[in-house]
Amino acid sequence: MLINVRHQVPVAESYRAAKVRGLFNATDEQATRFELDADLPIDDDRWRIGVVVGPSGSGKSSIGRTLWDGSAFYPGDDWPADAPIIDAIDPGGDFEAATAALSAAGLGDVPVWLRPYRVLSTGQRFRADLARVIAEQPDRVVIDEFTSTVDRQIARVGAGAFARAWRRGSGQAVLLTCHHDVLDWLEPDWVYDTGTATFTRGSVQFRRPRIDVEVRLGGWNLWPAFRAHHYLDLPKMVAARAYVGFVDGEPVAHVGITTKSLTTGPHADRIVSVEARASRLVVMPEWQGAGVGTRFLNHVAELQRTGNGTLQGRRMTTLFHTSHPNLAAALRRDDRWRQITARLTGHKTGRSERDWPQRDKSLPRTGYGGHFRALQGFRYYG
């Protein structure tokens, strides 16, 4: 694919423009014309992600607007003013697909899903844009200023999250960026560098960096930093200890562990075993989408199973409940976990019927009280 860019603007005749030309010996040719010729051999459909990288002003956006006659250029400025992003992402599509796209893009903070795009932070907007592209799955898309406006940690992790999710489909994405640090995380099929005018095909030279997480067992002193990012407003767990994952000394993941007695007998008064109960799983926003959360939870659950957990020498299964649809889906896909409950509505209870005798008898015998949300339970067997 041959790319020919020709831009020209009128010569400025103002006093200041003339003075700049005189002071710096700048010619009208330099100031008013921009030309770029590039040969991108990307006409085949055997690639999924391409990157145009280079310094500002080197022609990346011009190349992007030329690709596919400009029809694939992602606008990014057409979000509805007041609708929450959960309604704005693929509005005619499936709800589960929208939440999956948000999680895949690393925007796992559920309260953020209920906010309009215009009130989001810059990093949240970046991930929301990626989620919309993932959910809508266009055949071709060009994204300009990819990761240019966000913190580099969010940029790298977000790039990796987008690449994994995008490759599940069959579309082609061209990302325009001035940052080379995202290339290893994207593992692109080809790269064109506008700074050196070189084209490189093949992702073999790019490898996503390894993330080493140090897991420590302690108290709840770090919970305040994680609490704001949990999808429920909850205090610390009673009689529990906390595991925290660190990357290069920075806390990135948190989960609480307590124990629960398993009983039997007609009055459930005989303890036959003990198992661990995990809750308050949180991954910091800048690390969401990196695959840290489920691996961290699996590691902590494995510590309990092998007797190296909160009760040293005691081998325990781990019980975990969640309302997050995508976390539940991830655990269902993992053979080490088995789903044991799925309370998606109220459940029958005589107490509700006693407390509400005037209830219409034609209604289903559904109880009220407890969690006013869908709740799914899983047990880790390893």
Give me the mean pLDDT over the 242-252 stretch. Answer: 95
Question: Residue 212, SS3?
Answer: coil
Res. 379 pLDDT band, cuts 50 70 90: very high
Are 134 and 224 contained in the same domain? no
89-93 CB contacts, 8 Å cutoff, 24+ apart: 89/128, 89/131, 89/132, 89/135, 89/136, 90/132, 90/135, 90/136, 93/135, 93/136
Q: Domain ends where: 145, 166, 201?
A: 201
| 373 pLDDT higher than 90 | no
Question: For residues 215 and 244, is the Cβ–Cβ distance under 8 A?
Answer: yes
Give me the mean pLDDT over the 207-224 stretch. Answer: 93
Instruction: Write the CATH number for 137.
Output: 3.40.50.300
| 156 pLDDT higher than 90 | yes
Are 264 and 145 contained in the same domain? no
How confident is the prediction for the chain on average, in pLDDT? 88
Find, among 130, 164, 141, 163, the residue nearest to 68 by Cα: 141
| 143 pLDDT higher than 60 | yes
Question: For residues 53 and 183, is the Cβ–Cβ distance under 8 A?
Answer: yes
DSSP class per residue in 36-59: EEEE----SSS-SEEEEE--TTSS
Distance separating alpha carbons of residues 153 and 311, to the nearest angstrom = 36
Looking at per-residue pLDDT, the higher value among 256 and 108 belongs to 256
> pLDDT tens-digit profile of 14-58?
999 999 888 888 888 888 888 888 889 999 888 999 999 999 988
Res. 1 pLDDT band, cuts 50 70 90: confident
Q: Domain ends where: 166, 201, 236?
A: 201
Are 81 and 188 contained in the same domain? yes
Are 296 and 330 contained in the same domain? yes
Are 187 and 322 contained in the same domain? no
Backbone angles phi, psi at 282, to 5 degrees: -140, 135
In this structure, how many other beta carbons lie within 10 angstroms of the beta carbon of residue 322? 20
Q: Say what the pLDDT of residue 186 is.
A: 95
Are 193 and 230 contained in the same domain? no
The token pair at 368 is 């009220």
Are 256 and 333 contained in the same domain? yes
Q: Say what the pLDDT of residue 316 is.
A: 94
Give me the mean pLDDT over the 185-190 stretch. Answer: 95
Q: Over pLDDT 90: what percentage of the chain? A: 60
| 238 pLDDT higher than 60 | yes
> pLDDT tens-digit profile of 264-279?
666 666 667 889 999 9
Number of independent structural domains in the chain: 2
Q: Say what the pLDDT of residue 29 is.
A: 80
In a domain, 8, yes or no: no
Are 195 and 226 contained in the same domain? no
Give me the mean pLDDT over the 169-195 stretch. Answer: 95
Res. 147 pLDDT band, cuts 50 70 90: very high
Q: Say what the pLDDT of residue 358 is.
A: 66
Instruction: Write the CATH number for 236.
Output: 3.40.630.30
| 74 pLDDT higher than 70 | yes
In a domain, 153, yes or no: yes
Looking at per-residue pLDDT, the higher value among 153 and 234 belongs to 153
Distance separating alpha carbons of residues 293 and 287, to the nearest angstrom = 9
Q: Say what the pLDDT of residue 165 is.
A: 92
Q: Say what the pLDDT of residue 324 is.
A: 85
Q: Side chain identity at 144, as an amino acid letter?
A: D
Question: For residues 285 and 126, is the Cβ–Cβ distance under 8 A?
Answer: no
In a domain, 218, yes or no: yes
Res. 236 pLDDT band, cuts 50 70 90: confident
Question: Residue 284, SS3?
Answer: coil
In this structure, how many other beta carbons lie within 10 angstroms of the beta carbon of residue 87? 15
Give me the mean pLDDT over the 139-143 stretch. Answer: 96
Are 218 and 162 contained in the same domain? no
In a domain, 27, yes or no: no
Question: For residues 275 and 311, is the Cβ–Cβ distance under 8 A?
Answer: no
Going by C-beta distance under 8 Å and a sequence separation of 6 or more, which residues neighbour residue 363? Answer: none
In a domain, 360, yes or no: yes
Q: Say what the pLDDT of residue 101 is.
A: 92
In a domain, 18, yes or no: no
> pLDDT tens-digit profile of 320-329?
999 888 899 9
Q: Say what the pLDDT of residue 72 is.
A: 95
DSSP character at residue 204: T
Are 303 and 347 contained in the same domain? yes
Q: Say what the pLDDT of residue 3 is.
A: 85
**pTM, entire model:** 0.81
Q: Say what the pLDDT of residue 199 is.
A: 94
DSSP character at residue 94: -
> pLDDT tens-digit profile of 339-369?
999 876 655 556 556 666 666 666 655 555 4
Q: In terms of residue numbers, what domain contains 73?
A: 42-201
Find, among 243, 267, 273, the residue nearest to 256 by Cα: 243
In a domain, 2, yes or no: no
217-226 CB contacts, 8 Å cutoff, 24+ apart: 217/241, 217/242, 217/243, 217/310, 218/242, 218/243, 218/244, 220/256, 222/251, 222/254, 223/254, 223/256, 223/280, 225/251, 226/251, 226/254, 226/280, 226/282, 226/284
Distance separating alpha carbons of residues 53 and 232, to the nearest angstrom = 40
Q: Domain ends where: 201, 223, 253?
A: 201
Are 238 and 124 contained in the same domain? no
In a domain, 177, yes or no: yes
Are 48 and 164 contained in the same domain? yes
